[in-house]
Structure 1
Amino acid sequence: MKQILFKGILGLTALLSFSTYATDTLDDYTLEQVVVFSRHGLRAPLASPTSTLGKVTPNQWPQWDTPASYLTIRGGVLETYFGHYFSQWLVDNKLLNADTCPTEKDVYIYTNSLQRTIATGQYFAVGAFPGCIVPIIHKEKLGTMDPLFFPVIRDDSPEFKQAAINSINQNADSNGIDGLNKKLNKAYRDMANVINYPKSKDCLNNKQCDFIALPTQLIIEKGKEPGITGPLRTGTSIADAFILQYYEGVPLAKVAWGKIKNEQQFKQLVAIKEDYNKVLFGSPVVAKHVAANLVNYINQAFTENDSTIKFTFLVGHDSNVASLFSTMQIQPYNLPNQFETTPIGGKVVFEKWRNNSSGEKFIKIEYFYQSTDQIRNLSPLNRDNPPQKVTLNMTKCPTNAMGLCSFTTFKQVMDDISK
């Protein structure tokens, strides 16, 4: 097991210190435990002349100071802001104490073993616990996927493969992936025009010049993530690059070489990426399979014993969020002021609360995330300028007016999923 001891930028002597403003708390309830699953922060796109992105357009992709797929400096600052807000929220809700560094019983930060996930954990710790030595745990060699965060196929039986393919097609559209591709026809055509696909290397060298007609094939193979070829996959890579440019603060008029004319067109192109995650990683058969380790980990984290940690912070990927939500049967939701449904740096927050009068325990699940403007404007987060927040609902764990569902029911549902 590798441990990175990350020292806060303010030095070892600086401790937590907070003033008191209006707090975001539940009256008559005590917060007992929190488990957060975070998508990594803002990263550089996977763009180079030899990459998929480099071959689909004759245009030169912008060069970033940060290596491809690494967390950017801006991403680090944004994550530090998020950590700062969380430290205030945890103190306001009396889960952690102000003016003291957390112990190993208080805080556990565990990330996938890629640079962008490890760095997200590091920057979060700097913002949340400045001056404190907080271990950032990753368990594999740098650049290697940890099984907890790796949405990989582990079953090579023909029966599972067919069930997975059927599930993906059913989740895509009543007419399967072909039906979804037809629905996205206009978005694909816009994408092809924006990138000038007819003059790309792929078109000129491979004589495949119809972006919409790129061959589509579902890939379900043991040891690999669920995959797909064709316009949905290629369009997702391109949309990802565009939205990362936008998050990095590039004016919309200059995103995609100035070819995107308005916000509506931008949203339409970004929606390709949303469909990709929903279809591949949110299909029920695939989701339950690839999210099994993560569901079990979160479930076990809420097992009450002497080793229970007050605040657990996990860092993975949007594919993890999509499969987790599908498996847990999180009901459809909307994130105001965001283009994405699993936004960069977004945090799924599982909160265990106790009613002070009855002693009954509850779970509340919330999505904390930065709005598009908060990301673009590099807005500090604090009590006066909090992140966006939406309460999530599990189909099999009904919530009351405060968004709380029975902890006993939650555990039973998670136990059933984990079988």
Structure 2
Amino acid sequence: MSTPVDEVVEICRDLLRIDTTNTGDNATSAGERAAAEYVAAKLDEVGIAAEIYESAPGRASVVTRIEGTDPSRDALLVHGHLDVVPAEADEWTAHPFGGEISDGFLWGRGAIDMKDFDAMVLAVVRDWARTGVRPPRDIVLAFTADEEAGGEYGAHFLVDKHRDLLDGCTEAVGEVGGFSYTVSKDVRLYLVETAEKGINWLRLHARGRPGHGSMVHDDNAVTALAEAVARVGQHRFPVVMTPTVRAFLEHLSDALGIELDTDDPEIAIAKLGPIANLIGATIRNTANPTRLDAGYKDNVIPSRASATIDCRTLPGQADLFLEQLREVIGPDLEIEHVQRQPALETTFDGALVDAMAAALRAEDPGARPVPYMLSGGTDAKAFQRLGIRCFGFAPLQLPPDLNFSALFHGIDERVPVEGLQFGVRVLDRFMRNS
């Protein structure tokens, strides 16, 4: 009989070989339907009834509920998304949809974001169904569409149109957390996400007087936009120490045996190596230009030029950030809100956190679970609308030299096979005792 450790690699390979590319446009996205059908079939194979919910053609999520032994307890939501960001095959060492195993890693787009966790969950509950295990409380499993473009066709759709599926859920776990950071041979910090920054995708619009490209022109929309975008890209917003980030840095300074200067936390963060960029983005609000759009002919000065700015805000900072951004770009540009979702933050305590810590320590005696803030956003933004307390806990034990944060949306995304197997053992323990 297969065990979760045996199955998790095979299931993850299968999922990686299903192209679920999400471009942010339904016309060009591959859609999640094939992956949703695979998930539903894997559950049905062991007698777990699951439903597929399609928000638009091909944009499919899967939801099921596993009944626990104590119906008086609130339910736990375990969620993972099925979509992935685009990948250019010629940039990769291994094909991004090949599911190749090489050098101890399983390669493919979605290997850590986040078909690895989907595979862990499937492997665990399939084993439970075969062996008659029931969790202590109801567990709702949600495999969602569209997380990579804000969740409109996935998690937000479920919250808006199928809220009853989440009845009783008061806590949730999903991406990105539970991964290791090696301090020494005997000590590893495991970063559990208790907070994540808010999303505010903005479009800046500059207007000017159109004209012939051969003329002297002092009212050029492209020039005005370019100057503003350059200022945004070069600007550094002030350092703000939120409770989660302060707690993480205090744990870090204790583990590394260094003093923490709260006025200059970047000194401590610089010692983090591969995850310094991930943590460094959580001590301030950020704004990064990502797209430009202007003009329709080489010799015509356009009347309008636009740029997209990816802004991420700390908890409680959204309104102040917009004031600060306006000072940077100046008074003349129009600001359009394309996507706006709030930051999240909860405390690092309670029975659920204790269960995470116990599961990690049972598999790794050197584990030290610590809270941290994710610089990006997840489907938790949708589920928190129902008052659900959300954590990132997709456990992985990582090689000390792996640049984990660079793999998210990067080339050569891969997950260590042994780390994946470690993760499924931890998740099994956690879900049995949550």
For the pair shown, the structure with the greater C-alpha radius of gyration is 2
Same fold (TM over 0.5): no
Structure 1 length as normaliser, TM-score?
A: 0.26
Q: TM-score, normalised by structure 2?
A: 0.25
- Give the structure with the higher percent strand: 2
